[in-house]
Structure 1
Amino acid sequence: MATPFTWLITGTSSGQGAEIALAALQAGHSVVATARNTAAGKEAHPDIEKLGGVWATLDVTDESAQSTVEKLVDQHSVNVVVNNAGYGLRGVLEDLSMQQIRSQMETNFFGALAVTKGAIPLFRQRRSGTIVMISSASGFSGTPSQSMYSGSKFALEGVSESVAEELAPFGIRVLIVELGAYRTPFQNAVDKPTEVMSDPYKGTVSDKTAQRITAGHGRQAGDPVKAAQAIVEVVTGTGRGAELSEVLRLPLGRDAITRAQVKMKAFSHDMEKGKALAEWAVFDEPYDGYPPL
């Protein structure tokens, strides 16, 4: 391997995080696997330690998360950080409490920012490193019945776009991974529609979408092992990822591609329909070059 990679992965005790850790280790890299409950992670995935991975306790919502990550990055010479920790929140906006909404943003959004901020200083000093944001197809195309999960991932993608340009001068790459439906325990941990959908919304598109997602658990087309391999190859520029070193977004899964295409088509339609009005809503004076077009 030309370049040594040491990965710090959040939310590694189960699901996609564990698969990314295993894929990186199997490819010959080093891994710092983090989780709130490392004992559960070790029990569920003993191969992580057997392959040379080390575990570290990290709760991304804790006030100490940023400083903990900074220490781990320094101690283990980490050069890849994967923001994988997160959870899904089922329910339409009207039905969700503000506490539920804030908790969703605290883990999926603010937690990822704390981890990223912990990694940036040393990455910047070394003028290298990769930050992977595990997003979702729902972070590019909103999903009824998962409005706040979509919102947390949309927010993460917006910050990631800006941060990618902020960090590029220092040789730091940001990669947004938009996962489709994958066969992990993720959806099984989400509240079921019968538990969260209030009567006014029953039978609506939100209810039907939630029912379809729940009914599809265990039958998702996405293979988490292949997704993990794809992420490792894109980050390291090897195998199937050799030609993807410049991409910002990496949709994974046929459904992720289809949803992105539908969203882009709808966006293009709205742009064309509103173009004349948009161009009218400016001062009647010659364009002076600001903002740059």
Structure 2
Amino acid sequence: MMSQTWLVTGASSGLGTAITASALRAGNKVLAAARNPEKASLENPQIEALGGKWVNLDVTQTDTARHVETIIHENGGLIDVVVNNAGYSLVGSIEDMSEDEIECQLSTNFKGPIRVLKGVLPFMRAQRSGTIVNVSSSAGVQGFPACGIYAGSKFALEGLSEALATELLPFGIRVLIVEPGIFRTKFLSAFVTPQAGMTEDYAGTPVETMIHAFRTSNGNQQGNPVKAAARILDVVSGTGMGVGKEKLLRLPLGPDCHDLYQAKCDSLKENLVETKEIAYSTNFE
């Protein structure tokens, strides 16, 4: 397969680093985006050793689209794959979160990919080709306690991606939603809690239980990010386990996410069956 040009946001750690390395090993050109490229380069020397290039990009900035356009122009003017991976998790009760904390979460996880896409899509439309990989989460499948705003940002990204998949079909641009479960990355050690702390009434409730799980599960996750990155590469390139999967919209990763998805589908189906009579009773006679 011919070498392609990839742009990966949030490439400085975790799944982003693994995706970048996997794409490079497959012979692709990768622009690894990070808020601090110098620090990222020192912490991940393998990326440049494999031929990757670090670029400066903070997806929370309102001029992100212009920066993305400049990055692409300065690196050949073509872009084949963009991976919107930059993100983090705000964990706590919704009522304890400030407006600024909520906005920062949405700005990174939801508005960030939109800003990147505004810079990328003119190139892909001109090429009549391209692949957009939006990294969601198992929290984009099921909202968990203490993860309301994080889940909200991922549910929003999923809805956006569904719309994009149809909007961009005439231009030969594909959209893939990646939904990782729990993988052994720095994600659980980098979550943020509200500065206000936890309202006392939430002690002993599912909110406190989930926060405790975040704090104690790091390092014990079963998911291997290197394997996850390999599966993403397979599905994007249509090789390996991705052969015949070119029309997939969603890619759940990890047994935990797949099982969660199955339970959610079963629950939704049961809910639909129980509400059909009610739904069909609301038209004018």
**Interval of TM-score (by shorter of Structure 1 and Structure 2):** over 0.9
Distance 1:157 1:283 in 2: 33
Q: Where do 1:114-129 residues align within 5 Å?
A: 114-129=115-130
1:143 Cα deviation from its structure 2 partner: 1.0
8 A Cα contact 2:238 2:244, kept in partner: yes
Q: Where do 1:209-228 residues align within 5 Å?
A: 209-228=210-229
Q: Where do 1:8-47 residues align within 5 Å?
A: 8-47=7-46
* Paired position in structure 2 for 1:291: none
Q: Where do 1:1-293 residues align within 5 Å?
A: 1=1, 3-74=2-73, 75-76=75-76, 77-191=78-192, 196-284=197-285
Q: Deviations over 1:230-268 (max 9, x none)?
A: 111110111111121110000000110111111111111
Q: TM-score, normalised by structure 1?
A: 0.93
8 A Cα contact 1:192 1:214, kept in partner: no
Where in structure 1 do 4 or more consecutive aligned residues deviate above 4 Å?
A: 192-195
1:28 Cα deviation from its structure 2 partner: 1.1
Question: Per the alignment, in what secondary structure is the counterpart of residue 184 of structure 2?
Answer: coil
- Report the more deviating stretch, 120-129 or 210-219: 210-219
8 A Cα contact 2:97 2:194, kept in partner: no
Q: Deviations over 1:253-284 (max 9, x none)?
A: 01101111111111111111111010111122
8 A Cα contact 1:145 1:209, kept in partner: yes
Output the amino acid matched with 1:66.
A
Distance 1:189 1:198 in 2: 22
Distance 1:159 1:229 in 2: 25
Residue ranges of structure 2 left out of the alignment (5+ in a row)? none
1:134 Cα deviation from its structure 2 partner: 0.5
Question: Per the alignment, in what secondary structure is the counterpart of residue 218 of structure 1?
Answer: coil
Distance 1:135 1:30 in 2: 24
Q: Percent identity?
A: 46
Q: Deviations over 1:204-232 (max 9, x none)?
A: 12221222232211111110000111111
Question: Per the alignment, in what secondary structure is the counterpart of residue 280 of structure 2?
Answer: helix
Distance 1:217 1:197 in 2: 21
Distance 1:33 1:166 in 2: 27
Distance 2:178 2:55 in 1: 24
8 A Cα contact 1:180 1:255, kept in partner: yes
Report the CA distance shift for 1:112/1:193 in structure 2 as closer, same or farther (over 3 A). Answer: closer
Q: Deviations over 1:169-196 (max 9, x none)?
A: 1100000000100100011011469984
8 A Cα contact 2:16 2:85, kept in partner: yes
8 A Cα contact 2:140 2:158, kept in partner: yes
Q: TM-score, normalised by structure 2?
A: 0.96
Question: Per the alignment, in what secondary structure is the counterpart of residue 60 of structure 1?
Answer: coil
Question: Per the alignment, in what secondary structure is the counterpart of residue 143 of structure 1?
Answer: coil
Report the CA distance shift for 1:241/1:96 in structure 2 as closer, same or farther (over 3 A). Answer: same
8 A Cα contact 1:176 1:249, kept in partner: yes
Output the amino acid matched with 1:139.
G
8 A Cα contact 1:193 1:207, kept in partner: no
